[in-house]
């Protein structure tokens, strides 16, 4: 038996020929670089042919396949059929475009394969480093703690857990809500993302414990109504404890009046949380940051590096001002995670003490690379640039009588609709459902055209075509293409009405 045979178990997954793997790996890297380099030549999105869909009902692969063959399947059947959020014409929902540096870092992270739940390892320090930078973005104190999570939905839920535990005392972790002597109530705006209500639900408070505060004309939380709701709840013997403000609402990109909400929270002694899923990173742009005044007063902020930060999915983040309260909500000493001063079990507290996950990937690396390679000034320019592009779209819509804008453009989201000749959406004599249907059809046809991919939402009960400019690649030419395609598709659909 040779030494090689002796050290390599017969069942290893490593190759026998590293050179062959290296060559194939370089080919795969080239393929994905080619994809990114030539994104514009592809449709933003294309429907998945039935034959392709059917290939994902294959039987369990019990025997090995050649990597090159599997990769060929990826090129043919997977790569062309994503939603297209890397493409400059993608404007649906709120999705970041990723970046090639972050992609490379993700590959390195997978190669290194650390489990960043804890222990004495440098990947934990990389995450602490990014946390330190996040404190700097938001002017948070050294005592604030942070953690990478899947996304803002999870970060919002965690903020709620921390506030709940602080309000009810650590015993709630043992006794549950049923034994609590306070009936907790939370507050958010009617423009808040659905994950806020879901968080209240998942935290066991029940959705009826969430007060949905109406919005003002700028789609911001109406603070006078917030005060009224808190007073009414106190009068009813309930216990207000949590306000979730929004910095960059999902529908229109509105920023709640953060200073005023911070004042209310301070006066009423409530936890002031900000869902800044995409908007919070506006702090990186000197032009956008003033709009976010009051964010720095938050007790906790949830946001995503994978949206405006352009880090590849997923890279959500939560920062909590009171690090002790954060840790008290999650840390659970168990024998097999015992800490030491030295050795691998050193370096306490660990990331797993600040969230529900024990096994955690190395999300920090792609974020660390992205921040380092581009620098926050450049990322801030990208963020402000998407707002400029949104203003360009807004101006085009306002200048075109065939189009109608449905909401102010505070940041990077534009909601509009096609008027369809005689049909005026504010004319109640016209079948409102019909014009909604026409605009929904326009949005679907735009997606199917491969030219642009907006999504839709309801603005004051009316269906809007919604363009969220999040991707660093989106240019004015993409907006021109969106407008042109909307007008021609709209005209064609209206003709047959
Ligand atoms: C304002 C807001 N909050 C929360 C979320 C949910 O974030 P995630 O998808 O990262 O969980 C989004 C997603 O678009 C959002 O726009």
379 has pLDDT over 90:
yes
Residue nearest to atom 16 of ligand 1 (CA): 250
275 lines ligand 1 (CB under 6 A): yes
Which pLDDT tens digit goes with each residue over 224-267? Answer: 999 999 999 999 999 999 999 999 999 999 999 999 999 999 99
Q: Residue 423 — pLDDT band, cuts 50, 70, 90?
A: low
251 lines ligand 1 (CB under 6 A): no
For the whole prediction, is pTM greater than 0.85?
A: yes
151 lines ligand 1 (CB under 6 A): yes
Which pLDDT tens digit goes with each residue over 14-67? Answer: 999 999 999 999 999 999 999 999 999 999 999 999 999 999 999 999 999 999
255 lines ligand 1 (CB under 6 A): no
Comparing 402 with 430, the larger pLDDT belongs to 402
Comparing 404 with 2, the larger pLDDT belongs to 404
425 has pLDDT over 60:
no
Please state the rounded mean pLDDT for residues 341-368. 97
Q: Residue 495 — pLDDT band, cuts 50, 70, 90?
A: confident
What pLDDT shows up at residue 172? 96
Q: Residue 8 — pLDDT band, cuts 50, 70, 90?
A: confident
Q: Residue 420 — pLDDT band, cuts 50, 70, 90?
A: confident
The rounded Å distance from CA 279 to ligand 1 centre is: 10
Which pLDDT tens digit goes with each residue over 183-198? Answer: 999 999 999 999 999 9
1 has pLDDT over 70:
no
* pLDDT above 70: percentage of residues in the chain: 97
Q: Can you give the length of the chain in residues?
A: 497
The rounded Å distance from CA 150 to ligand 1 centre is: 11
Cβ–Cβ under 8 Å, residues 366 and 311: yes
The rounded Å distance from CA 155 to ligand 1 centre is: 10
The rounded Å distance from CA 193 to ligand 1 centre is: 7
What pLDDT shows up at residue 6? 74
Cβ–Cβ under 8 Å, residues 45 and 84: yes
């Amino acid at each position: 038996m040779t030494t090689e045979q002796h050290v390599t178990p017969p069942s290893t997954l490593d190759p026998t020929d590293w050179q062959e793997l290296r060559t194939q790996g370089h080919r795969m890297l080239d393929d994905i670089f080619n994809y990114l380099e030539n994104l514009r030549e592809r449709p933003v999105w294309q429907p998945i042919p039935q034959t392709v869909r059917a290939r994902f009902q294959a039987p369990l692969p019990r025997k090995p396949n050649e990597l090159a063959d599997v990769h060929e399947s990826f090129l043919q059947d997977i790569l062309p059929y994503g939603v297209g959020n890397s493409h400059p014409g993608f404007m649906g929902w709120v999705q970041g475009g990723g970046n090639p540096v972050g992609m490379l870092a993700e590959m390195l992270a997978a190669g290194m394969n650390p489990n960043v739940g804890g222990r004495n390892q440098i990947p934990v320090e990389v995450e602490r480093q990014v946390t330190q930078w996040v404190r700097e973005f938001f002017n948070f104190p050294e005592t604030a703690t942070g953690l990478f999570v899947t996304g803002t939905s999870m970060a919002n839920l965690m903020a709620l857990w921390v506030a709940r535990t602080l309000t009810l005392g650590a015993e709630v972790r043992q006794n549950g809500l049923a034994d609590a002597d306070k009936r907790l109530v939370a507050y958010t705006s009617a423009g808040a993302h659905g994950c806020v209500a879901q968080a209240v639900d998942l935290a066991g408070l029940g959705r009826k414990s969430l007060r949905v505060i109406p919005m003002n004309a700028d789609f911001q939380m109406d603070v006078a109504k917030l005060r009224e709701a808190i007073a009414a709840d106190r009068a009813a013997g309930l216990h207000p404890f949590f306000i979730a403000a929004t910095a960059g609402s999902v529908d229109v990109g509105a920023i709640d009046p953060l200073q005023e909400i911070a004042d209310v929270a301070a006066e009423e002694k409530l936890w002031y949380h900000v869902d800044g899923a995409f908007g919070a990173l506006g702090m990186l742009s000197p032009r956008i940051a003033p709009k976010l005044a009051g964010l720095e007063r938050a007790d906790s902020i949830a946001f995503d590096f994978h949206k405006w930060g352009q880090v590849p999915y997923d890279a959500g983040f939560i920062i909590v001002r009171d690090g002790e309260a954060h840790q008290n909500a999650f840390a659970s000493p168990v024998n097999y995670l015992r800490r030491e001063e030295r050795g691998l079990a050193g370096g306490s507290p660990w990331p797993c003490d600040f969230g529900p996950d024990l096994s955690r990937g190395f999300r920090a690396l792609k974020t660390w690379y992205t921040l380092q390679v581009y620098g926050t000034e450049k990322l801030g320019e990208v963020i402000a640039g998407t707002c400029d592009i949104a203003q360009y779209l807004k101006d085009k819509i306002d200048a075109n009588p065939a189009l109608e804008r449905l909401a102010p453009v505070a940041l990077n989201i534009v909601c509009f609709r096609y008027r369809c000749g005689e049909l005026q959406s504010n004319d109640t004599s016209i079948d409102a459902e019909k014009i909604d249907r026409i605009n929904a059809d326009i949005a679907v046809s735009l997606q199917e055209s491969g030219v642009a991919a907006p999504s839709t939402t309801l603005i004051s009960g009316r269906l809007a075509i919604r363009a969220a400019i999040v991707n660093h690649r989106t240019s004015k030419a993409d907006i021109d293409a969106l407008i042109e395609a909307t007008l021609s598709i709209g005209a064609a659909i209206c003709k047959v009405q």
